[in-house]
Amino acid sequence: MQRNLLSMFNTVDQSHYPIYDFALMNDSGTPYVIGVLTRIKGEKRWISTENIDWTQLPVHFPCATPWESLPTGAFSIKKQLLWRIGLNLKHQRPVRVVNYELKQEQNQLRLHKLFFGWKGLMSYFTGHRIGKRPIDFLTWDQYQPFFESACLSNYDKMDWFYPADIADMLRMLPFHNQVQLINGLHPMLAANTMKELEAHFQHPILDKLSSGKISELLSLLPSNHASAILREYKDPEKLVQLIPNPLQNKIRTQLGYDPGSAGAWMDTEFFSFSSKSTCSECLSYLRTHPLSPESVFYIYIENGRQEFIGVVSIRSVIMSDPDTPLETLMKKNLVALTVQTPKVDVANLMSRYHLLALPVVDNEKKITGVIKIYDVLDSTLEYPI
């Protein structure tokens, strides 16, 4: 018997439990099913599948006491495997698992294949396998080494992955391997991976890193991301002192803001110019003072008192005549934040005015930072599984 998740129990009558996910144990070579996530009295609960006959469809579950949590050593397919990134060891390329296949073996329902690529995606939505070439799926034996720790010997392959995907892998590793992975990654990739993790992953890792490594990683991050990592740490000042100035002072300042305010959220790296500057002068400066590309959505314009008076999109600067003064391009109907502006208002303003970034100004109308759209998305969206 071989069935994927969508086709295995696509019709369940009122007397049977619907299945949302499988709990697996891996103590005998290949993971096998020990429980299911089902609905009991209107709530999703995990129950044991001990003594289940998987060959009889629809499957009947005996009355069982729901688990309070997954047993030690068990893992959920959807949380630990589905949509996660792994490495196709044969073809040495990253893959995203989008479906899986279960097979009846030795009176147990076992994890048999993990599907990836566009054919795997089609099988996920249609419930049918599309094609049978080996390149379209990995057996558990092929995937297991990477699921557990093979990534620790593939640092040179890590540049293929986004930091968010490496963070997914790290969450599945034993703690000592988590530290090993952060130490082994390229520093910029390691810093951005740390940024993607939750505090309960970040802080134990920081405790095991050397002072030099902590200083290196935090110095590579914008002040808002570095302060976010340190905000709930047991002794943030101890780690702030490891960071060189002027970033150290910026982080210390942002740690003093309310965590739900624009001041704590803003990036202190941005470009501002005099209204008399030309497009040519602006672009020349940008070429010699590079920020990361995603940091430059707009150029902010100041008057002689360094007050914020206008904004110009980077596209307008690039497309205009080099001798054009910035003041002739700038928009004067300004939308700005203060350091006390609540996060929810930031998101609402960006949505209302279709902006990619918003400046944060102080009481003297001077720009102190910028909040960008992807920071808003990071704060408001959750991973889809």
Q: What structural domains does the chain harbor?
A: 1-148 (no CATH), 155-256 (1.25.60.10), 272-380 (3.10.580.10)
pTM of the model: 0.68
The vertex-186 CA angle with 181 and 189, nearest 5°, equals 85
Sheet with strand 337-338: strands edge to edge:
337-338, 357-361, 367-372
Query: What are the mean pLDDT values of the chain's consecutive 10-residue runs (385 residues total)?
Result: 43 58 84 86 84 69 78 84 68 72 81 72 53 62 63 63 82 82 92 94 96 96 93 94 92 92 90 93 87 75 92 93 94 91 90 91 92 81 46
H or E, element range at 88? strand 85-88
Q: What is the pLDDT of residues 271-291, one digit of tens each?
A: 899 999 999 999 999 888 866
Contacts of 321 (CB under 8 A, 6+ apart): 279
Between CA 228 and CA 224 the distance in angstroms is 6
Q: What is the pLDDT of residues 14-50, one digit of tens each?
A: 346 678 888 998 877 788 889 888 887 778 889 888 8
Tell me the average pLDDT of the chain: 81
> According to the model, what pLDDT value does residue 347 have?
87
Q: What token pair was written down for 155?
A: 């640092």
> 164 exposed, middle or buried (CB, 10 Å; 0-12, 13-18, 19+)?
middle
